[in-house]
Amino acid sequence: MSYPPSGSTALSAPGKVLLTGGYLVLDRNYTGTVIALDARIHVIVQQLKRGHRRGASFSSVKGGPDTETVEDGSAVDDKEKEDVVVVRSPQFVNAIWEYGIQRCENGGGIKVIQRNDGRSNPFVETSLNYALTYISYVADSKDFGSLSVTILADTDYYSETAFSRVSESPGRFVNFGVPLHEAHKTGLGSSAALVTALVSSLVIHRTLQPDDLGASRDKLHNLAQAAHCAAQGKVGSGFDVAAAIYGSCLYRRFSPSILESVGDAGSPGFEERLFAVVEDADPKHPWDTECLDFGMRLPRGMQMVLCDVECGSNSPSMVKKVLEWRKQNQQEADLLWAALQSNNERLCLQLKQLAQSPDQESPEDFNDVRNLIQRSRNHLRSMTRKAGVPIEPRVQTELLDAVSAVDGVIGGVVPGAGGYDAIAVLIRDDQEVLKKLTELFKNWESKVEDDFGGKIGTVRLLGVRHGSDGVKNEVLDQYAGWL
């Protein structure tokens, strides 16, 4: 059933940290512990009056006044041109995209066509294609009306800029004062959180009510996974989207074959194939994602913090190299994978048991966690050497060792695929520990020569913490000054 669209819909989805299971989660035989964060990507969808382009000038629109020809040569008439989707990311300079809405023939679904000049945004564009195709199919309607979409990111998704350090911005969000492509990500999973929040907000806005969010999580998960994989150009493990939907969980990936037959947006039959995937209606390829213990929390007295190193990694190329090494050294790799999986399972179980225990007061309560984290790091450094990939490069080892020596720190890792992204550190939930870490980072300067030529910039403690919740509805009041 399709409900009349409300004036505004606001949702947010969290970032993530893959605490254990980097590289392992690519294989269904293994699992990963993914922690949702309290840093979130927010998407606000607002209905616009027909023909109104919020935040975009008519002079920026490509094409003539009567018709527009798209790539396949078909013409879009005036009536179809009246509806647009204007997407804004007001924390960045010139981050605005205006799209025309095109219905494709032969069941190809909906494709949006960028009309203004400037860089494309494949994650936004693909999310719109997938969400609007699904909405039009289930609602059996071509009429979306014009939509304004505003995207806002909590501060810790990006490293500080000279502008953001001194800017006075309204509310919880900051103006970074740079173009989006110049902003340095801290590795919290912004693309997965963005895609999840964007497709979820559009589906809720056009076909459901906010109260339906909980019951619709599985379908929104399937849609977000499909859109995110399409935007990336590959079928990834999906742990980041799972965390964005369900929150913290023990994750086992879905079979890649589920999404391999969806095809491209606009291709004949795309809308039916996408509908079958989202609704889990294909008996030959049922969804087999496992998200256990979702909403899991850290033990009382423990907190997780992230430390930005102002560098960043090319995760796709790192993953490719590790998988090539594994393929060429299958027996050796399988032994290493098995050792990591066993250790990760023990760490996850230990955290779960501590979280369920009502009393932990002494520092000794976390000794087993400390030892298991250290053992995990040993295995990852072994993988670093064998695969020739900077999973835990020397400059990060130096930093993690120094951090781990601070009183009150339980242990830390370079999460996910590793490299030069922000490190994740488990600590005793005590302000004194944060003060000691801040003091350590104040004049941090690496003294080792990195084995991969990497360098760490300014190290700073991010404000992000363990969050546990997945996608959720938001209230509009917090966006005052940004809409």
Top pLDDT among 83 and 376 is at 376
41, two tokens: 């990507």
Q: What is the pLDDT of residue 55?
A: 52
pLDDT tens digit string along 453-478? Answer: 888 878 999 899 998 799 999 999 99
**Same domain as 159, residue 26:** yes
Find the angle CA(382)-CA(292)-CA(302) to the nearest 5 degrees: 65
Q: Calculate helix-pair angle for 367-387, 330-356, nearest 10 degrees.
A: 160
**Same domain as 352, residue 269:** no
Top pLDDT among 172 and 394 is at 394
SS (H, E, C) the chain: CCCCCCCEEEEEEEEEEEEECCCHHHCCCCCEEEEEEEEEEEEEEEEECCCCCCCCCHHHCCCCCCCEECCCCCEECHHHHCCEEEEECCCCECCEEEEEEEECCCCCCEEEEECCCCCCCHHHHHHHHHHHHHHHHHHCCCCCCEEEEEEEECHHHECCCHHHHHCCCCCCCCCCCCEHHHCCECCCCHHHHHHHHHHHHHHHHHHCCHHHCHHHHHHHHHHHHHHHHHHHCCCCCCHHHHHHHHCCEEEECCCCHHHHCCCCCCCCCHHHHHHHHHCCCCCCCCCCCEEECCCCCCCCCEEEEEEECCCCCCHHHHHHHHHHHHHHCHHHHHHHHHHHHHHHHHHHHHHHHHHHCCCCCCHHHHHHHHHHHHHHHHHHHHHHHHHCCCCCCHHHHHHHHHHHCCCCEEEEECCCCCCCCCEEEEEECCHHHHHHHHHHHHCCCCCCCCCCCCCCCCCEEEEEEECCCCCEECCHHHHCCCC
Report d(CA 214, CA 471) in Å as an integer: 9
**Same domain as 403, residue 273:** no
* Mean pLDDT on 123-151: 92
Report d(CA 136, CA 142) in Å as an integer: 6
pTM: predicted TM-score of the whole model, two decimal places: 0.88
Q: How many domains does the chain have?
A: 2
**Same domain as 266, residue 345:** no
**Same domain as 317, residue 256:** no
**Same domain as 323, residue 403:** yes
Report d(CA 101, CA 133) in Å as an integer: 11
**Same domain as 315, residue 286:** no
Identify the band that residue 17 occupies on the pLDDT scale cut at 50, 70 and 90.
Answer: very high
Identify the band that residue 259 occupies on the pLDDT scale cut at 50, 70 and 90.
Answer: very high
Q: Is residue 275, in this structure, part of any structural domain at all?
A: yes
Q: Is residue 471, in this structure, part of any structural domain at all?
A: no
* Mean pLDDT on 113-132: 95
pLDDT tens digit string along 333-381? Answer: 999 999 999 999 999 999 998 988 866 555 567 999 999 999 999 999 9
**Residue 48: strand pairing partners:** 146
* Mean pLDDT on 236-257: 95
* Mean pLDDT on 432-439: 97
Cβ–Cβ under 8 Å, residues 378 and 351: no
Q: What is the pLDDT of residue 360?
A: 57
* Mean pLDDT on 278-284: 94
Identify the band that residue 66 occupies on the pLDDT scale cut at 50, 70 and 90.
Answer: very low
* Mean pLDDT on 87-106: 95
Domain boundary among 292, 318, 333: 292
Report d(CA 205, CA 148) in Å as an integer: 12
- Residue 353: CB atoms within 10 A of its CB come to 11
Identify the band that residue 1 occupies on the pLDDT scale cut at 50, 70 and 90.
Answer: very low
Identify the band that residue 187 occupies on the pLDDT scale cut at 50, 70 and 90.
Answer: confident
What CATH number did the domain enclosing 112 receive? 3.30.230.10
Q: Is residue 483, in this structure, part of any structural domain at all?
A: no
Is it the case that residue 95 has pLDDT exceeding 80?
A: yes
Q: What is the pLDDT of residue 6?
A: 55
Range of the domain at 24: 6-47+81-292
Q: Is residue 67, in this structure, part of any structural domain at all?
A: no
pLDDT tens digit string along 201-242? Answer: 999 999 988 899 999 999 999 999 999 999 999 999 999 999
Q: What is the pLDDT of residue 268?
A: 97
* Mean pLDDT on 384-402: 96
Q: What is the pLDDT of residue 365?
A: 76
**Residue 102: strand pairing partners:** 111
Domain boundary among 292, 320, 352: 292
What CATH number did the domain enclosing 316 receive? 3.30.70.890
Cβ–Cβ under 8 Å, residues 238 and 459: no
* Mean pLDDT on 145-166: 90
Is it the case that residue 63 has pLDDT exceeding 60?
A: no
Cβ–Cβ under 8 Å, residues 266 and 104: yes
Cβ–Cβ under 8 Å, residues 479 and 152: yes
Cβ–Cβ under 8 Å, residues 394 and 455: no
Is it the case that residue 59 has pLDDT exceeding 90?
A: no
**Same domain as 331, residue 267:** no
Report d(CA 101, CA 276) in Å as an integer: 23
Query: Does residue 111 come out as left (phi exceeding 0), alpha (psi in the -120 to 50 range) or beta?
Result: beta
pLDDT tens digit string along 37-50? Answer: 999 999 999 998 75
Q: What is the pLDDT of residue 2?
A: 41
Domain boundary among 248, 275, 292: 292
Report d(CA 330, CA 52) in Å as an integer: 58
Is it the case that residue 25 has pLDDT exceeding 60?
A: yes
Q: Is residue 60, in this structure, part of any structural domain at all?
A: no
Q: What is the pLDDT of residue 382?
A: 97
Q: What is the pLDDT of residue 314?
A: 58
**Same domain as 312, residue 208:** no
Q: How much of the chain exceeds pLDDT 90, in percent?
A: 71
Q: Is residue 72, in this structure, part of any structural domain at all?
A: no
**Same domain as 379, residue 236:** no
**Residue 55: partners with Cβ closer than 8 Å, 6 or more residues away:** 86, 88, 96, 148
CA distances from 361 to 356, 403, 480 (A): 14, 22, 42
Phi, psi (degrees; rounded to nearest 5) at 183: -80, 135
Q: Is residue 61, in this structure, part of any structural domain at all?
A: no
Q: Is residue 71, in this structure, part of any structural domain at all?
A: no
**Same domain as 209, residue 355:** no
Q: What is the pLDDT of residue 72?
A: 47
**Same domain as 325, residue 271:** no
